[in-house]
């Protein structure tokens, strides 16, 4: 017999599928030009520094996805995260959340803080960790701590976290570690990013920090996804 809880779970699964389908329908409109050539999907990432955002205008402008800053270290929660994260989904954007990793804080504790504050639903992008600087004193072994952080997020969200970083930092501090995670590389003013040798390709490329997008009152970071809407759909949080 189907219980009330079972029905609620089925309803949530269907809601997730409908949201995913709606968002990918929007993204699909950006996949090909009139001559059939592939076009990159565009996204942005935001935090409280971007002010009050009209997410419906963002969606109407053709932006397909967004990463919203959630947490930093052990105890910082971006004051706009909850509102931005909910509003982006309501507007029909694919959304993800990211954590700024502090090397002087415990990896497991940082993972617990992110998990406490971020609920990812079916159809959301995988969790993201931004690691781009060394802050002393490093808490324990840097690579072991970071591996613990990544593993705990993967266990909880059932997707490997995406790693956001810069090539110079990575090759200096993290070389030959974690190439199994998707790469979100940051590099501006180039035709193609130069990626760390561990990775064969990039999944996301933050190509500017000076993008103008309707609905966002400030300049915002712009990102390409390396693929079409079908490929983007394959990496999203699954229905379980």
DSSP 8-class letter at 48: G
Show the tokens assigned to 64. Answer: 């397909």
106 catalytically annotated: no
DSSP 8-class letter at 25: H
How many Å apart are CA 240 and CA 159, to the nearest integer? 12
CA dihedral 55, 58, 63, 69 (to 10 degrees): -50
Q: Is 64 exposed, middle or buried (0-12, 13-18, 19+ CB in 10 A)?
A: buried
How many Å apart are CA 235 and CA 169, to the nearest integer? 26
Largest CA distance in the chain: 60
75 catalytically annotated: no
Q: Give the residues across from 96 on adjacent strands.
A: 67
Catalytic residue among 45, 72, 102, 124: 45
Q: Is the CB of residue 131 less than 8 Å from the CB of residue 101?
A: yes
Catalytic residue among 106, 132, 171, 187: 132
Catalytic residue among 78, 105, 130, 228: 130
132 catalytically annotated: yes
Query: Quick one: the chain helix, strand, coil %, rounded to 5?
Result: 35, 20, 45
Q: Strands 183-186 and 204-211, how do they pair? A: parallel
Residue 144 Cα to chain centre, angstroms = 22
> Catalytic residues, which ones?
45, 130, 132
């Amino acid at each position: 017999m189907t219980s009330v809880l079972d029905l609620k779970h089925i309803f949530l699964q269907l809601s997730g599928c409908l949201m995913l389908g709606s968002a990918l329908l929007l993204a699909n409109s950006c996949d090909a030009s009139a001559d059939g050539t592939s076009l990159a999907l565009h996204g942005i990432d935001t935090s409280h520094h971007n002010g009050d955002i009209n997410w419906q205008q963002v969606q109407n402008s053709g932006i397909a996805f967004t990463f919203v800053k959630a947490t930093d270290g052990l105890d910082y929660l971006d004051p706009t995260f909850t509102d931005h994260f909910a509003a982006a989904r309501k507007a029909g954007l694919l959304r993800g959340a990211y954590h700024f990793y502090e090397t002087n804080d415990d990896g497991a504790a940082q993972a617990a803080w992110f998990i406490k504050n971020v609920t990812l639903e079916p159809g959301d992008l995988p969790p993201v960790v931004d690691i781009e600087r060394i802050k002393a004193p490093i808490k324990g072994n840097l690579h072991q701590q970071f591996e613990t952080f990544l593993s705990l997020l993967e266990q909880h969200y059932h997707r490997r976290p995406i790693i956001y970083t810069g090539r110079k930092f990575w090759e200096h501090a993290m070389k030959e570690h974690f190439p199994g995670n998707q790469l979100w590389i940051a590099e501006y003013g180039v035709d193609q990013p130069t990626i760390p040798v561990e990775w064969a390709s990039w999944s996301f490329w933050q190509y500017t920090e000076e993008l103008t997008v309707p609905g966002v009152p400030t300049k915002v970071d712009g990102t390409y996804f390396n693929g079409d809407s079908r490929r983007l759909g394959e990496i999203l949080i699954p229905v379980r």
